Structure 1
Amino acid sequence: MSKAAVPLRILCIHGYRQNGSSFREKTGALRKLLKKQVEMVYISAPHQVPAVQNETNQMSSGGDEDQRGWWFSDVQARSFNAQQECESSLGLEESIETVKTAVKELGPFDGILGFSQGATLVAMLCALQEQKLEADFNFRFAILVAGFRSVCSQHRRFYEGTVITIPSLHVFGQDDHVIPEEMSRDLLPAFDGAQILIHPGGHFVPAASLHRQTYKDFLKKFE
């Protein structure tokens, strides 16, 4: 850590149907694991996700009252599916602006962490930074948990031409049925020298004691 022992500040980007508050709760174990090393700051996506109807035709919030998303793959239904191929998406530009505002008002940040749809957004933000298209982004590292390569045609620009050189740690579960391991692996070629942390679990941010050293070793390079 620096001479003043200032923790690394990380901007945290939640997954689909989460928000900043719920993601903060879900990453409590990670915050505890890294509390001496990092300060994690959480923001919410600008788009509210419509509640889903359950079998009894009741509107279900899935546990979180305020469900948010960074973009929708189905423009008409305002829904998102990581495996849904689409020509265009809805809401991505507003989400990029939301992150830019957070950087200006809550920053500076050393790094950025994203989960699931949020991790895919992080990859896009890193691409914009690499292409020098967004002067507001100056992240020194990125942690992507259950990330994937967007299959929306409109998003190809983030993966073509420029290899992302921002140091990155890619975390994915071997038993993840939401974003299968191969989808996360498909994102790796977009990053130069990507580091990997594989865990045996499912769709969550792993923070067991056996993962501590991998996170700490990665973060130590930026202290």
Structure 2
Amino acid sequence: MLGSQAPRKPRILCLHGFRTSGEILKKMIGKWPETVLQNFDFAFPDAPFPARGKSDIESLYDPPYYEWFQVNEVECLNFEECIAYIEDYMIKHGPFDGLLGFSQGGMLAAVIPWMQGEGVAFTKVPKIKFQIIISGFKLRELKSGPPKLLVNSFSTPMECPSLHLIGEKDFLKETGYILLKSFVNPFVIHHSMGHTIPKLDEKGLETMLKFIEIIQKMFQQDLQIASGPRAAL
């Protein structure tokens, strides 16, 4: 039809790991087959803070490297600044339908919809509809307590559809399983690798495509609802 546009794909905001970058995450996600990647539009921002120390991936990927926030045994630093930075990016470059996060970015991708649901952050952007969490974790207990935005985090189970990738050799494996308990009916892909974004084997790809099918149905329903009044004109 003349003047018609191709339907919009679900857009995913991708949050990279500690002391890596958006470009590095883009390369890592590029391992996945086109049958997965063709279903989404991805955005890969860099975190707000330049790396303040050595990166674990220096032998694999070139700098620059960035980090979202900093944590020590006592406190979490710059967390509120990080959240404000992400929300501002979503306002300027959105709308975004889903989140994908790896490691430190996975921790953020897991908790953002909770903060949004509680009304403590991300109130100026559309509701996040799904999450893909790779090597995700809950922020450990700190002597000063959690950041203000995370007080009582996951106090109610998350019903936002989620897919979790957990590696058998990942040093964050156990915390990844703890995180799973905070989600209602999560999809899970188990892989044999460590702290990385794995290629998808046959079983992993099957799980991923089932998750994508659910997301697409939900996305199309939302589009139909949004376009309903216009269609009646």
Question: Does the alignment reach a TM-score above 0.5?
Answer: yes
Q: Cα RMSD (Å) of the superposition? A: 2.4
Q: 1:61 to 1:222 in 2, by over 3 A?
A: closer
Deviation at 1:209, TM superposition (A): 4.4
CA distance in 1, matches of 2:58, 2:28: 16
| 1:45-64 pair list within 5 angstroms | 45-52=47-54, 63-64=61-62
In the superposition, the TM-score normalised over structure 1's length comes to 0.82
Deviation at 1:64, TM superposition (A): 3.3
1:212 aligns with 2:210: no
| 1:12-31 pair list within 5 angstroms | 12-30=14-32
Shifted more, 64-73 versus 140-149: the winner is 64-73
Say which SS state the counterpart of residue 165 (structure 2) adopts.
strand
Q: 1:188 to 1:94 in 2, by over 3 A?
A: same
CA distance in 2, matches of 1:158, 1:25: 35
Structure 1: 5+ residue stretches without partners: 55-59, 75-85
Provide the residue aligned with 2:137 in structure 1: 148
Is the contact between residue 33 and residue 209 of structure 1 (CA under 8 Å) also seen in structure 2? Answer: no
Is the contact between residue 100 and residue 137 of structure 1 (CA under 8 Å) also seen in structure 2? Answer: no
Is the contact between residue 119 and residue 148 of structure 1 (CA under 8 Å) also seen in structure 2? Answer: yes
Question: What CA deviation, in whole Å up to 9, does each residue of 1:163-199 have, x standing for no partner?
Answer: 222111111100113x2x2110011122222221111
| 1:95-114 pair list within 5 angstroms | 95-114=82-101
1:92 aligns with 2:79: yes
Bigger Cα Rg: 2
Paired AA for residue 141 in structure 1: F
CA distance in 2, matches of 1:33, 1:12: 18
Provide the residue aligned with 2:180 in structure 1: 188
CA distance in 1, matches of 2:92, 2:136: 26
Q: How many percent of aligned residue pairs carry the same amino acid?
A: 26
Greater helix percent: which structure?
2
* Number of residue-to-residue matches in the alignment: 203
CA distance in 1, matches of 2:133, 2:55: 30
Q: 1:35 to 1:161 in 2, by over 3 A?
A: closer
Is the contact between residue 50 and residue 65 of structure 2 (CA under 8 Å) also seen in structure 1? Answer: yes
Say which SS state the counterpart of residue 138 (structure 1) adopts.
coil
CA distance in 2, matches of 1:53, 1:168: 28
Structure 2: 5+ residue stretches without partners: 217-233
Q: 1:219 to 1:64 in 2, by over 3 A?
A: same
1:119 aligns with 2:103: no
Q: 1:137 to 1:72 in 2, by over 3 A?
A: farther
Say which SS state the counterpart of residue 142 (structure 1) adopts.
strand
Is the contact between residue 103 and residue 137 of structure 1 (CA under 8 Å) also seen in structure 2? Answer: no
